[in-house]
Amino acid sequence: MGELRFHFRDARVWRYMVASIEKIIDEGVFVATPEGLSLRAMDTSRVVMVDLFYPSSAFDDYSVEEEKEFGVSFTVLSKVLRRARKNDELVLVVDDSKITVKLAGRGERTFRFPQIMLTYEKLPEPKIQFTVKAKMMGSTFKEVIKDIELMSESVTIRATESALYMTGKSDIASVEAELSLERGSLIDLIVDSPDQASYSIEYFSQMGNAAQAADSVTLQYSEDAPARVDFEYMGGGRLTFYVSPRID
């Protein structure tokens, strides 16, 4: 297929994104086009869809002239990217059989591993009418999810015109986080209908690493519909998770 080369200035952004992806899918197919690098895949239970897009303009070097696909073990890639340090740059080179990852900082470390031969399943983007949209800092999202997972196996989300409430309950304890524009815990809130929905906290917990390097997180949901969680990154990158509702 010829060589593909991607050079990204902050390796830790990819470290944190891939750490969350790896918890949900073991392997997947990246699609490289002149417009950017993307990935769309479902977990084995068909509960969560991962949808990643990073525009070519965000890379310092992006050598893709026509659409190419390459399969990756996220278990292996995540292990490699965990070695990324502060100020490391990421160089990813893909040829016909292998993937080379270089982490370049005060020194340069090179990792090589084989491509995974996978059948590419082209999944459509879900078309969902959301009634609530809340935008917050990545750190806010991560801390709320940490609080809820202490007490509950699920998270229930409800909204009023002025606040978003995320709660968790068990037989012996409960926790509720109130997020609002007034308190500064939300960047934006749009409520078309004050709906309520519940989701497994496990999947939201698996997104925690992705929040680490995100500029912001946008949560959208409707009653009895999948939630959409968008992580926005430097240069216009976006990592999205669609999570099916919990049915008790």
pLDDT tens per residue across span 183-206: 999 999 999 999 999 999 999 999
Domains defined along the chain, listed by start: 4-114 (3.70.10.10), 132-243 (3.70.10.10)
pLDDT in tens, 231-241: 999 899 999 99
Rounded Cα gap, residues 70 and 6, in angstroms: 13
Q: Which region holds residue 209: left if phi is over 0, alpha if psi is between -120 and 50, else beta? A: alpha
In 46-184, which residue ranges form alpha helices assigned H by DSSP? 74-81, 138-151
Check pLDDT > 90 for residue 97: no
107 pLDDT band (50/70/90 cuts)? confident
* Biggest alpha carbon–alpha carbon distance for the chain: 59
Mean pLDDT for the chain overall: 93
pLDDT in tens, 123-158: 999 999 999 999 999 999 999 999 999 999 999 999
Check pLDDT > 60 for residue 1: no
pLDDT in tens, 31-72: 999 999 999 999 988 999 999 999 999 999 998 888 999 999
User: Quick one: CA dihedral 55, 57, 61, 67, positive or negative?
Assistant: positive
Residue 86 burial by CB count (10 A; 0-12/13-18/19+): exposed, middle or buried? exposed
Q: Which amino acid is at 246?
A: R
Check pLDDT > 70 for residue 10: yes
Residues 46-56 as b or e (16 or more Cβ within 10 Å = b): ebbbbbbbbeb
Rounded Cα gap, residues 85 and 158, in angstroms: 39
Rounded Cα gap, residues 95 and 72, in angstroms: 12
Residue 90 is predicted with a pLDDT of 96
Cross-strand pairs, 205: none
Rounded Cα gap, residues 151 and 169, in angstroms: 6
Question: Taking each helix axis from N to C terminus, what angle separates 74-81 and 11-24, rounded to the nearest 10 degrees?
Answer: 150
Considering the entire predicted model, what is its pTM?
Answer: 0.94
Residue 193 is predicted with a pLDDT of 94
